[in-house]
């Protein structure tokens, strides 16, 4: 009887060990360093950097953009990457003006297809320089 019981227990343990070896599962959630949902990305901070009526110095970036959303006006430069920057010191003025498009250009025809007789408005950034001082007097003309 005891021999039969010990055989039964040993066979039970062998089966139990095999079941334990096969039923171990891993973690159901990933660790904290996982990036399954992409993680947080840094924003690009594009758009107008200097508001209407603010004073700027030459070289100040006025707007950062990927596609042309804001257009350069008076005393404003257009960088290779699309940034607008001040060429002279003065106050910033943002206006919405009618665009004078070259309708013979293929890019204009492709992007403004069907809007030939409509007035198209664009946002322009201008830098209005301060008037120069009037301290000099004309003494003699050459």
Task: Give the pLDDT band (50/70/90) at residue 141.
Answer: confident
Chain centre to alpha carbon of residue 111? 22
Domain presence at residue 12: no
Domain presence at residue 35: no
Q: Which domain holds residue 63?
A: 47-128
Nearest to 127 by CA among 64, 67, 58, 65: 58
Number of domains in the chain: 1
| Per-residue model confidence (pLDDT) at position 24 | 63
Domain presence at residue 85: yes
Domain presence at residue 40: no
Domain presence at residue 103: yes
Domain presence at residue 135: no
Condensed to tens digits (0 to 9), the pLDDT of residues 5-21 reads: 666 666 666 665 655 55
Domain presence at residue 56: yes
Condensed to tens digits (0 to 9), the pLDDT of residues 109-135 reads: 888 888 888 888 999 999 999 888 888
Condensed to tens digits (0 to 9), the pLDDT of residues 52-109 reads: 999 999 999 999 999 888 999 999 999 999 899 999 999 999 999 998 888 888 888 8
Alpha-carbon distances of 60 from 76, 79, 89, 94, 134, rounded to whole Å: 10, 12, 9, 15, 27
Domain presence at residue 98: yes
Q: What is the CATH number of the domain that holds 66?
A: 2.40.50.100
């Amino acid at each position: 009887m005891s021999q039969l019981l010990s055989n039964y227990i040993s066979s039970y343990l062998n089966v139990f060990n095999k079941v334990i070896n096969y039923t171990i599962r891993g973690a159901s959630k990933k660790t904290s360093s996982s990036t399954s949902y992409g993680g947080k990305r840094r924003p690009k901070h594009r758009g107008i950097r200097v508001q209407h009526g603010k004073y700027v110095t030459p070289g100040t970036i006025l707007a950062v953009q990927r596609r042309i959303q804001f257009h350069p006006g008076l005393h404003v430069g257009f960088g290779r990457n699309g940034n607008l920057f001040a060429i002279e010191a003065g106050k910033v003025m943002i206006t919405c003006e009618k665009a004078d498009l070259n309708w013979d250009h293929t890019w204009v025809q492709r992007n403004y297809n069907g809007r030939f007789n409509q007035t198209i408005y664009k946002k322009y950034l201008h830098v209005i320089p301060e008037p120069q001082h009037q301290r000099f007097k004309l003494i003699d003309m050459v």
